[in-house]
Structure 1
C-alpha cells in the first residue's frame, strides 16, 4: 500500500462529502475505504490529542483523522513533556513494526548468530544486488563478535521476478542458506533453485511497514533505520534498543 497514493487521492476525494456514520470509527472507515477499498485498517482509537483519532494500519503504520472522517493527516504527533518533544507516532509505529516482525518465525529468515548467546538482534530487509547490503554483510562477523544476531528478510527492490528476487529465492531454497547468502553477497551467481519460499511474503511485509530501500534495519524495539550503518555504530544502537 502506498500512503502517498492514498493522500494524493485524499486531496480531491475529501472535498466531496462522505455519508457520515453514527460514530467516529464508522465515519473514518467510510472515508478511508472510499479512498482505498483494500486499506489494511487494524484499529481506530482516540489519540492523546483531543478530537484526533489514530488509525492503526497493518504492519504498524499510522494515520490520523478527524472524528467525522473528513480530515486526514499523515505525519508525526509530538507531545511536549518537561520541555522535550516526544514523538508519539514513532513510538506507536515501532511497537506495531516489532509485533509484525516478531510474528515471522526465525525459520523463515536467514540468521547469522554469535557463538555466544546474543545480546541483541537486528532484522535486515536486504537485496543481494544492493551494494550497501553487500557492505553491511561483510561486517556481519563484526556484529556477531559484538553480540548482535543478524536476521535477514528478503526485499528485492526491483520487485517479484527481478534478478535480485530470483537470487534470493535460490538463497532461501539452498540447503545451507548462510553459505548461499555469503556467495550471493559476494556477487557469485547461485545455481537456480525453487521451493516453497517466503521471499514474496517478506517483500510485501517490508512494503507494509514502510521499507522503501535496502538495507532497511529493524531494531529489537521495532525502530526502523533506513540505510547502511557501520558495525560499531549499529551494534551500539542495537544494544540500546533491545
Structure 2
C-alpha cells in the first residue's frame, strides 16, 4: 500500500521524530541531574530543564535555589540570567514562578484572621513574634485598609518565639494580642490551650521552603520574602489582582 507524503506515513514519521527528540531531551536532563548530584554529593536536584539561552540547563535544587549548567555539567553558574532584548531578569521571573503557591490550599483555620475595612483583598503572612522585620511589617499593615490578613504564627528563631506564639494563639482575642505585641511591644499574657496549630504551621512552613520571616503570600500565590513598606505592598497587591 502506498501512502501520500501528506498522509499517514508522514504523520507516523513525524510522531517518531517527535518521540525521539523528546526522549533525547529527557535523557540529557537526566544526565545533567546525575552529574550535578554527583558534584554536590547528594540527591539535591528537584528538576532540570533546558533553557533558550546559550544551551544552558536550569537546575532547581530541593532547597529552592536555581543554578545553571551545560549538558555535561562542566560548570555551574550561581547567578542571574538577564535577557538583553527585553531587559527582563529571567532568573528572578522563574524563581517567582517556582516559589508561588496555590493560595486556596493554605489551612487558614491555623492562622490569625484580621479583617480591615471591606476585607476584599487577601494576603497571608508567616511571622515569628521575635522577628524585627515582622514588627516593622506590623506597623505598615496597621496603615492598610480593605484587606483580610491571615497571620500564620511561625516560631523559628528562638524557644521564646514558640512560647510567645503559643500564648498569642491561646488568647481569647488572638488578633488584638498579636497586634499589642507586634506593634506596641505589650508582652502577651501566659495562656494555655491546644497549640497543635502552631506546630502544624512550622511543618507547613518547612514544606513551603520558608526560611525567613516575614514571608508574605498574595491572593494569586505570589511569594514576597521579607519586609515591604505599605506603599510597595499596595502596588504588589494591585499587580496580583490584575
Establish whether residue 80 from structure 1 lines up as the match of residue 84 from structure 2: yes
Q: Which residue of 2 aligns with 1:240?
A: 239
Structure 1: gaps (5+ residues): 1-21
Q: What SS does structure 2 have at the residue aligned with 1:85?
A: coil
Distance 2:149 2:73 in 1: 42
Q: CA deviation at 1:85?
A: 1.0
Q: What SS does structure 1 have at the residue aligned with 2:196?
A: coil
Cα pair 1:55 1:62 within 8 Å, conserved = yes
Structure 2: gaps (5+ residues): 1-25
After superposition, the C-alpha distances for 1:134-165 in whole angstroms (9 at most, x for unaligned) are: 2322343422x1x3333323443525xx2113
Distance 1:68 1:142 in 2: 53
Higher gyration radius (CA): 2
The 5 Å alignment of 1:1-242 reads 23-34=27-38, 35-39=40-44, 41-57=45-61, 61-81=65-85, 84-99=86-101, 103-119=105-121, 121-143=122-144, 145=145, 147-158=146-157, 162-172=159-169, 174=171, 176-185=173-182, 186-193=185-192, 194-197=194-197, 198-205=200-207, 208=209, 211-212=211-212, 214-219=213-218, 220=220, 222-229=222-229, 231-242=230-241
Cα pair 1:127 1:154 within 8 Å, conserved = yes
RCO greater where, 1 or 2, for CA within 8 Å and sep 6 or more? 1
The number of residues matched between the two structures is 209
Q: CA deviation at 1:133?
A: 1.8
Give the TM-score normalised by structure 1: 0.69
Compared with structure 1, are the counterparts of its residues 232 and 175 closer, same or farther at alpha carbon in structure 2 (3 Å cutoff)? same
